[in-house]
Each structure stands twice: as structure tokens, then as C-alpha cells.
Amino acid sequence: MRRSAPEHPDPFPGLHERYLPWIERRDLSYRVRFDVPAELLMHERLQLVFDGLDTLAVITLNGRWLGSTENMFVRHDFDLRGCAQAKGNLLEITFRNTLD
């Protein structure tokens, strides 16, 4: 009996990555909506900090470009003043494929 692979298996345990050869050839996006407490918006500094984003990534908040990354092993800080709002923020991180 032949086993079929799960639709999108977790690539890390065992040899699951063999079921996802397409993943390295595509750009993938992560999106999340969140609110910011009003008292944080009044601070002089408001930063989004990433301690590691996988290689090539582009970060936007509410459609505004915050920056891009090229190294997973470097901390990245982004200033959110002027683009973060109290309700309904949309953070999008697009991970670029490394083959193009």
C-alpha cells in the first residue's frame, strides 16, 4: 500500500521536507492582524523586533514598507511610529525564495 503525503506536513520532523520541494522556489507570506494598546502609541519609541527572520524577507505594516532583511543571524528592529494604529494593524512578512 502506497502512503500519500499530508497536504502540508511540518517540514522539520523526519524526512517530511521531501514532500515540499516546491517551497524553496516560491515567495511565501505571513500575515497577522493585531491591536496596539493606546498607551503604547503614546511612547516616544515603538519598535518591532525580530531576532531572526529566515534570510530574505520584506516587512510591511498597514501597507507601509518597514524594511527588508538578508541575514537570519542578525537582529532587526523596525520603527513603528507613524504607521502603527490602535486597531486592526496588518503585519505582512514576505519571505523571498533564494533561487531567483
Residue pLDDT, tens place only, 37-60: 999 999 999 999 999 887 799 999
| Residues in the chain, pLDDT under 70 | 1-24, 100
DSSP tag of 56 = S
pLDDT for the residue 55: 77
pLDDT for the residue 1: 45
pLDDT for the residue 15: 59
Q: Is the distance from CB of 91 to CB of 27 less than 8 angstroms?
A: no
Nearest partner of 36 among 61, 5, 57, 14, judged by Cα: 61
pLDDT for the residue 13: 62
- The number of CA neighbours under 13 Å toward the Cβ of 11 is 8
